[in-house]
Amino acid sequence: MALPIEDYAVIGDRRTAALVGTNGSIDWLCLPRFDSPACLAGLLGTPEHGHWQLVPEGVYSTERRYVGASAVLETTFTTADGVVRLTDLMPRGDGRADVVRRVSGVSGRVRMRHEWRIRLDYGAVHPWVRRHHLHGEDVIVAIAGPDQLVLRGPRLPRATDHSHNDEFEVGPGDDLVFTMTWLPSHVPLDDLHDLGDRVAQSIDEDEAWARSCREDLPHADLVRRSLLTLRLMTHEETGGIVAAPTTSLPEEIGGERNWDYRFCWLRDAALTITSLIDAGYTEEAMLWRAWLLRSVAGDPQDLQIMYAVDGARRLPEHELPHLPGYAGSLPVRIGNGAAVQKQHDVLGEVMDALDRVRTVRGTAEDEAWALQRALVDDLARHWQEPDHGIWEIRGEPRHFTHSRAMVWVAFDRAVRAVEVHGLPGPVEKWRRVRDEVHAEVLARGWNEEKGTFTQHYDTDEVDASLLVLPLVGFLPADDPRILGTIEAIERELMRDGLLLRYRTETGVDGLAGDEHPFLACSFWLVSAYALAGRVKDAHALFDRLAALANDVGLLAEEYDPVASRMTGNFPQAFSHLTLVQAALVLADAGPA
Ligand SMILES: OC[C@H]1O[C@H](O[C@H]2O[C@H](CO)[C@@H](O)[C@H](O)[C@H]2O)[C@H](O)[C@@H](O)[C@@H]1O
């Protein structure tokens, strides 16, 4: 049985990532890319579906931390016999995929258990496993289909019933380094070279990157860890940003709301870029911009709301019936059917992010303006159609108020490109559409009786996405209509001080079951409070949310305040990027 979600930490090489538990077990790892099939999938089943564990016997306390500002995880186990440290990382550098695990004795003599159980293709396939002699040492090689995994180390575990096990003792000064490397199965092992100084290089690079992070922000350490986590989820070669490195961690334990997030949503990626730029990081923005332009190239009508890390379009959704699911939450899904949905907010987020890129990098770099113009012109023809909205409902398409407000953003930023940056375009037409959408939202998205904007045009329900309206400048934050909407959202969507996205009871999303407060929405509330002048409330909520991060500063998508546990995919970009945004807004608003 997998651990509670908050008991995991992420390590990664900016191509893929692994989840390491407080019990020294790597329970999730897809190689070589975020969306490759998992070779360790115990997270969504049992150890039988693949895990790699190094743990002492009789642990009575465990402490974890990342080394400085890096993605190197250090877990210190204390037992009755002594203390041992496990260091986990995925070095970067030459396009190879390695996991490095170092066991270091600190005090006493501690007995360690080692289990290496590889199951390829999401736990379905037992590999063909052999010992080899390579460059003067023994290695273990596991092969099936396209994948080959090579385990190296000073003492290799022995084969026992479809797994490899060992026990050994470590004392002060002992250092045992194990590495697992993925290679395509046709590549000869002779090509496998040593790691050299890639471990040290990866740490230095992270530390250098994190040094430019602002120190004057509330919960600055958490903000830094959020930025590093967003960077970890940005594919270093293609620039694609995944929404999370996991699939099917349930929004409700035991429920069916289990989705694959190992893809690049234009919305999540654009918002990530906005947060990175606002926090002073522009390089990732340029990498992502290049990814975006390659991915969306073609007929504007074929724009998708998400793509694979390399820009591929087909992400068919399948269920994996052989996996029992995280804590029995079924089905386990790979791929995501939402890829073919219409979500009209997406171009608003993209145009806003590109507007910021333009502001920090200058207009001269905007050779892709023609493409942006084509996308905006296409939206001008379709914005009045109902859509699936920001929450990707699987029920009937609606006229979502948030989607329409983001259509306003798309045209507003297009107008800005002409007015402020001097780019060419039919600005008169764009101004007309912008103003028309604005008037429509005020007329049809507003409920005078309740004094609030509503989730869509045919309901009196509210939706936490409406908190974005003041953040994007649709109306000033102190406008009575925004203040009324904040109050209605507090009244109707707050659970134990945190915000639900919407009330699932209405059936609007077409799904069975329920979900928990969505952390990004609570971070939006922090920003909305601060902008509306409720600075004390903003700080109090931000402090509360900061306390929900796990011991290494990571957040999942949702939080169950009754069970006090995280739910949903982990770590989730949406939660971390809205945390960064909220911290920046709070810093501008000043102290409580
Ligand atoms: O809860 C239903 C939907 O959940 C996923 O979408 C959510 O995650 C996306 C990625 O972070 C985010 O962009 C979206 O706003 C969220 O609602 C899932 O991908 C959908 O298929 C599902 O319908």
Question: What is the 333 CA–ligand 1 centroid distance (Å)?
Answer: 13
pLDDT category of residue 578 using cuts at 50, 70 and 90: very high
Neighbours of 343 (CB within 10 A): 26
Q: Which helix (H) or strand (E) holds 7?
A: none
The pLDDT of residue 201 is above 90? no
ipTM for the assembly: 0.96
Tokens encoding 478: 């102190």
Question: Number of C-alpha atoms within 13 angstroms, CB side, residue 320?
Answer: 28
Nearest CA to ligand 1 atom 21: 338
The pLDDT of residue 96 is above 80? no
Neighbours of 47 (CB within 10 A): 19
Distance separating alpha carbons of residues 320 and 316, to the nearest angstrom: 13
pLDDT category of residue 188 using cuts at 50, 70 and 90: confident
Nearest CA to ligand 1 atom 3: 392
What's the whole-number mean pLDDT along residues 329-336?
A: 98
Distance separating alpha carbons of residues 474 and 372, to the nearest angstrom: 21
| Beta carbons of 227 and 272 less than 8 angstroms apart | no
Enter the CATH code of domain 213-341+447-589: 1.50.10.10
pLDDT at 365: 66
| Beta carbons of 309 and 34 less than 8 angstroms apart | yes
Question: What is the 391 CA–ligand 1 centroid distance (Å)?
Answer: 6
List, chain by chain if needed, residues with CB within 6 Å of any ligand 1 atom. Answer: 243, 257, 259, 261, 265, 267-268, 336, 338, 390-392, 394, 574
Question: What is the 265 CA–ligand 1 centroid distance (Å)?
Answer: 9
What's the whole-number mean pLDDT along residues 57-70?
A: 95
Question: What is the 490 CA–ligand 1 centroid distance (Å)?
Answer: 22
| 91 DSSP assignment | -
| 260 DSSP assignment | B
| Beta carbons of 199 and 73 less than 8 angstroms apart | no
pLDDT at 104: 95
Nearest CA to ligand 1 atom 14: 391
pLDDT at 226: 98
- Ligand 1 atom closest to Cα of 251? 1
Distance separating alpha carbons of residues 466 and 451, to the nearest angstrom: 13
pLDDT at 313: 97
Q: Where are the domains of the chain?
A: 5-204, 213-341+447-589
Mutation probe of ligand 1 site: the residue of 318, 391, 504 with most atoms within 8 A of C-beta: 391
What's the whole-number mean pLDDT along residues 63-89?
A: 96
The pLDDT of residue 195 is above 90? no
Tokens encoding 270: 């654009």
Nearest CA to ligand 1 atom 19: 259
The mean pLDDT of the chain is 95
Enter the CATH code of domain 5-204: 2.70.98.10
Q: pLDDT above 70 covers what percent of the chain?
A: 98
pLDDT at 2: 94
Distance separating alpha carbons of residues 324 and 43, to the nearest angstrom: 10
- Ligand 1 atom closest to Cα of 574? 11
Distance separating alpha carbons of residues 580 and 224, to the nearest angstrom: 9
What is the per-residue pLDDT across 98-147, written as a single tens digit (0 to 9) for each?
A: 999 999 999 999 999 999 999 999 999 999 999 999 888 999 999 999 99
Inter-helix orientation angle 573-589/266-278, to 10°: 30
Listed residue (354, 369, 387, 377) closest to 300, CA to CA: 377
- Ligand 1 atom closest to Cα of 501? 17
What is the per-residue pLDDT across 333-382, written as a single tens digit (0 to 9) for each?
A: 999 999 999 999 999 999 999 999 999 988 766 678 998 999 999 999 99
The pLDDT of residue 94 is above 80? no
The pLDDT of residue 254 is above 80? yes
| Beta carbons of 307 and 264 less than 8 angstroms apart | yes
Question: What is the 203 CA–ligand 1 centroid distance (Å)?
Answer: 33
Instruction: Point out the least confidently predicted range of 67-81, 281-295, 370-384, 390-404.
Output: 281-295
What is the per-residue pLDDT across 479-512, written as a single tens digit (0 to 9) for each?
A: 999 999 999 999 999 999 999 999 999 999 999 9
Provide DSSP, 467-533: GHHHHTTSS-TTSHHHHHHHHHHHHHHEETTEE-SS-GGG-TT--SS----BHHHHHHHHHHHHHTT
Question: What is the 217 CA–ligand 1 centroid distance (Å)?
Answer: 29
- Ligand 1 atom closest to Cα of 243? 11
pLDDT at 490: 98
What is each CA distance from 77 to 80, 87, 97, 112, 554, in whole angstroms? 10, 11, 27, 11, 20
Neighbours of 284 (CB within 10 A): 20
pLDDT at 380: 97
The pLDDT of residue 528 is above 90? yes
Question: What is the 392 CA–ligand 1 centroid distance (Å)?
Answer: 6
pLDDT at 161: 85
364 φ, ψ (degrees, to nearest 5): -55, -30
Instruction: Point out the least confidently predicted range of 79-83, 210-214, 503-507, 586-590.
Output: 210-214
What is the per-residue pLDDT across 419-434, written as a single tens digit (0 to 9) for each?
A: 999 999 999 999 999 9
Task: Please give the radius of gyration of the chain, using alpha carbons only, rounded to the nearest integer.
Answer: 24
Question: What is the 161 CA–ligand 1 centroid distance (Å)?
Answer: 40
What is each CA distance from 276 to 45, 224, 227, in whole angstroms? 35, 11, 7
SS3 309: coil
pLDDT at 203: 86
| Beta carbons of 570 and 5 less than 8 angstroms apart | yes
CB within 8 Å of 309: residues ≥ 6 apart:
33, 34, 35, 235, 238, 240, 242, 262, 263, 264
Tokens encoding 564: 């006090």
Listed residue (2, 40, 7, 43) closest to 22, CA to CA: 7
The pLDDT of residue 411 is above 70? yes
pLDDT category of residue 539 using cuts at 50, 70 and 90: very high
Distance separating alpha carbons of residues 210 and 461, to the nearest angstrom: 42
Distance separating alpha carbons of residues 207 and 184, to the nearest angstrom: 31
Instruction: Point out the least confidently predicted range of 161-170, 278-287, 385-394, 445-454.
Output: 278-287
Distance separating alpha carbons of residues 470 and 275, to the nearest angstrom: 16
What's the whole-number mean pLDDT along residues 465-469?
A: 98
pLDDT at 364: 62
The pLDDT of residue 191 is above 70? no
pLDDT at 194: 72
Question: What is the 393 CA–ligand 1 centroid distance (Å)?
Answer: 8
Tokens encoding 280: 């002073």
Nearest CA to ligand 1 atom 18: 259
| Beta carbons of 233 and 241 less than 8 angstroms apart | yes
| Beta carbons of 70 and 206 less than 8 angstroms apart | yes
